[in-house]
Structure 1
């Protein structure tokens, strides 16, 4: 079993991986089943199953650049660019997009640090960097660099410095 998937499983369920119980939960919960698919060794079969699940559930996280401890809250319509780099203990919520920019001065995809929480319907786009311990509020549009220990709100993004910004938002850290 992939160690990254075990970390994701712990973040999603709060329990250590148990082959019997874990397999049953994986059969019942599509979000955990999807995480299992994207964490497996890259093969043509794995890619086909992951693409089918992506269409069925609106989850497009085919990136191998996602660190351990990924948490999908209300896992629907989540898009992550394959070029994005994401740290550990990362939370994604319904309707969020981590995407690349194709023109302008920020061509490329984001690099997000450890312990980042992305709220519902938020967009993080362009070749930007966010530090560790960053909370991106729901409906925020982020297209500029964000320092560590910050909260980002609104459109255009307003950055508010706050120590332990994600303390109560990111639980069961690995």
Structure 2
């Protein structure tokens, strides 16, 4: 059933647990997080259309500055994307984020420029990233992973895990994100 809905509707479903009409989505845009997701997805939708691409990138840039989200339309982000709180969020445009992921404020998902882990992160499905977490380098975060607040991750995290601390320690847990990621698509 969810296949018939747009990626934008799937993002908004994560917040409300209901399938929303276009008018209902616009009403929800009073929330800064959802407003930014709306503009981001519109910008991503029009990457290949020259005039609309310029327009939506201009609008996106305005809201990046206004809300403190540094997320670019080139970033691959799966459906069901959820921003828990607004403010101070940086995601490298080459990062890849799976579906049904939650990201809190203060998070950095960035590039490492040297060493064996040079590159940008690939984040799996159903990953919850807590406040002020830092994820850097050419690493992979598996599916069903909870990254605790204030954690520093610069190495691969296996599926079904909880990562805690700086440097992070890994704790296997088959229910790592249960109760943290709601209204999954």
TM-score (norm 2): 0.89
- Residue in structure 2 matching 1:156, options 162, 167, 171: 167
Instruction: State the Cα distance separating 1:60 from its structure 2 match.
Output: 1.1
Say yes or no: does 1:87 pair with 2:95.
Answer: no
Alignment partner, residue 19 of structure 1:
22
Once the two structures are overlaid, the 10-residue window that deviates more, 138-147 or 35-44, is 35-44
Once the two structures are overlaid, the 10-residue window that deviates more, 67-76 or 2-11, is 2-11
Instruction: State the Cα distance separating 1:140 from its structure 2 match.
Output: 0.1
Q: Aligned partners of 1:9, 1:64: CA distance in 2, in Å?
A: 19
What is the RMSD computed on CA atoms of the aligned residues?
1.2
Alignment partner, residue 179 of structure 2:
168
Q: Aligned partners of 1:64, 1:33: CA distance in 2, in Å?
A: 18
Q: Is the 8 A contact 2:75 2:93 kept in 1?
A: yes
The number of aligned residues is 172
- Residue in structure 2 matching 1:124, options 129, 135, 155: 135
Q: Aligned partners of 2:28, 2:174: CA distance in 1, in Å?
A: 36
Which runs of 5 or more residues in structure 2 are unaligned? 48-52
Deviations 1:11-55 (A, max 9, x none): 1222212222221222x1221121111111220111111111001
Alignment partner, residue 88 of structure 2:
77
Alignment partner, residue 55 of structure 2:
45
Q: Is the 8 A contact 1:131 1:147 kept in 2?
A: yes
